[in-house]
Amino acid sequence: MYRRISFLVLTFAVVFFLFIRSSEGDDLFAKAGIQSIKTVKSAPNFRLEMINRRKVELKEFKGKVIFLNFWATWCGPCKEELPSMEALYQQYKEKDFIMIAISVDYEGVRPVKEFIEKQRYTFTVLLDPNCETLDLFEVKAIPTTFIIDKKGRMIGRVVGPKDWKKPEVISLFEKLVSEK
C-alpha cells in the first residue's frame, strides 16, 4: 500500500512539473502576443531562391530556431514590422537562430532586392513569386510569421504586423535559443 501511494505521489509530482513547465512556455508565448501551436507538426520543407540567386531548403536550418515570415514589398503592414525584425535578427544572429523572410512579390527578384538593399536589411530573404509556400503553410494573409523550434516543429504563429523588439518577445527568444 505504501509503495502504491508513493508511486501515485511521484507520478502526480512529475505530471504537475511537466504541466507547469508546459504552461510556462505557453505563458511566454501569450505574453509575447504569439499564438502557440498546440498540435506538434513539422514545418514543411521547401526549396526557394535567395535574392542572390542561391537556392536553399528549409531543412538546411534544422538545429536552429527559425523565424519564418511571409511578406511583400507592396504590403504596408509588412513594411511596418521589418525594422523590428532586423533588430531581432541582429540580436540573435550569432546564436542558434535564423530569420527567413519569404517575399511573395509577383515581379520577382528585382523589386525585392532593390527594397532590401535600400532599407539595409541583412536577414535572409527568399523569393516565392508563385506563392507556393503560402499553401504549404496555409497562410491566408500577410504578414504572417511562424516560429519553428530547433527540431523543425512549428511552435508559434503571428498573423499581422508585430513589434519584434518588445521585452516579452526577447524573453521568449532567449528561452528558445538557449534550449538544447
Give the separation between CA 61 and CA 31, rounded to whole angstroms: 27
Q: Give 2's contacts (C-beta < 8 A, 6+ positions apart).
A: none
Per residue in 73-107, pLDDT (tens digit) is 999 999 999 999 999 999 999 999 999 999 999 99
Are 67 and 88 contacting, i.e. CB atoms less than 8 angstroms apart?
A: yes
The pLDDT of 14-42, averaged and rounded, is: 70
Query: Taking the CB of residue 67, how many other CB atoms lie within 10 A of it?
Result: 24
Strand ranges (DSSP E) for the chain?
35-36, 47-50, 55-57, 65-71, 97-103, 124-127, 144-148, 154-159
Give the separation between CA 87 and CA 97, rounded to whole angstroms: 13
At 27, the pLDDT band (50, 70, 90 cuts) reads: confident
Per residue in 35-81, pLDDT (tens digit) is 999 998 999 999 999 999 999 999 999 999 999 999 999 999 999 99
Domain ranges of the chain: 2-178
Residues in the chain, overall count: 180
Per residue in 127-147, pLDDT (tens digit) is 999 999 999 999 999 999 999
Are 170 and 95 contacting, i.e. CB atoms less than 8 angstroms apart?
A: no
Closest by CA position to 165, among listed 102, 86, 100, 103: 86
Residue 154 pLDDT greater than 50, yes or no:
yes
- CATH architecture for residues 2-178: 3-Layer(aba) Sandwich (3.40)
Are 158 and 19 contacting, i.e. CB atoms less than 8 angstroms apart?
A: no
Are 74 and 43 contacting, i.e. CB atoms less than 8 angstroms apart?
A: no
